[in-house]
Amino acid sequence: MSSASNRFPGTERRRHFRVEGEWSIRVEAVEHDGTVTESEGKALNISMSGIMLEAAVKANLWVDKELVLILPGGVGPVRSYVRRFLEYAADGHKRTRWGIEFGELDVTQRGLWARFIFTEAHRLGQEAAHRAFLERQAG
């Protein structure tokens, strides 16, 4: 699989290693009026601090919008925030990619999420990319 820098071009500003792949994520979006819009999304990359989520646009989008993500790996619900979004319709459907930052994960969630990320990195053959990321961080 290609490196994250090739898939999502731009200057690497991440503090945490990203694993590229596809994972189903349940999303609960809190609207301006307090109602919750539920939908399914697909995480395109995952890290300890957030995910890149692709989803059909069923909710109003804005930066700092509050979400609750139901994360895989037994992590469960995590309060999160939209940090950026990009609408596009390349496949003929209105979909968007959301850059999501997690709020606070408790100690158990943090441990489960770390295990999930590094298990997925191993499963997807991204150990070399992880080593290269760590080397760049150290340099």
pLDDT digits (tens, 9 = 90+) for 61-88: 788 889 999 999 999 999 999 998 776 6
Let me know if residue 100 belongs to a domain. Answer: yes
Q: How many structural domains does the chain have? A: 1
Residue 33 three-state SS? coil
d(CA 110, CA 88): 32
pTM listed for this prediction: 0.78
Let me know if residue 135 belongs to a domain. Answer: no
Mention every residue, 6+ apart, whose C-beta is less than 8 A from residue 41.
24, 25, 26, 27, 53, 54, 55, 98
Phi-psi group of 82: left, alpha or beta (phi > 0 → left; psi -120 to 50 → alpha; rest → beta):
beta
Let me know if residue 139 belongs to a domain. Answer: no
Please name which of 44, 19, 1, 4 lies closest in space to residue 116, comparing C-alpha atoms.
19
pLDDT digits (tens, 9 = 90+) for 7-53: 444 445 557 789 999 999 999 988 888 888 898 999 999 999 999 99
Domain interval for residue 19: 4-130
